[in-house]
Every structure is written in C-alpha cells, then in structure tokens.
Amino acid sequence: MGLIRKALKFLRETKIELKKVNWPNRQQLITYTGVVLMTVAIVGVYFWILDTAFIGIIQLMIQ
C-alpha cells in the first residue's frame, strides 16, 4: 500500500505545481514556436553545408 500512497501523493503535488506554472498566451506560443522552427531550420542548413563540404573534400582526397 505504500507504493499507492506515494503515487497519489506525487499526483497531488504535481497538480499543485502545474497550477503555479505561468502558461504562455496564444501570441507568445506562436512567437516561441516560430523562433524554434527558424532555429531548427538555420542549424539544419548549417549542418547540410558542412556535410556537403566534407563530402566534397573526402571525394577530392579519394581521387
């Protein structure tokens, strides 16, 4: 029974903590999502350029 009591206590405490969270409004959510997507796109392009460069260098070394 100790495990069930601990689980229930955890769930009660989690509910209390979630009430304290400062949730973003719709505009903030859209803004933050845009920032994340742009960051992912920029990092993806950066690694694509590096990958292409390394492939070219390795192909030159092999020939």
Give per-residue pLDDT as tens, 26-59: 999 999 999 999 999 999 999 999 999 999 999 9
The tokens describing 55, both together, are 């492939």
Residue 1 DSSP label: -
pLDDT number for residue 32: 98
Sign of the dihedral defined by the CA atoms of residues 24, 29, 31, 37, in that order: positive
Which tokens in the block code for residue 12? 């009660």
Structural tokens at position 43: 């990092």
Spans of all domains in the chain: 25-63
Q: List CB contacts of 36: < 8 A, sequence separation 6 or more.
A: none
Say what the pLDDT of residue 45 is.
99
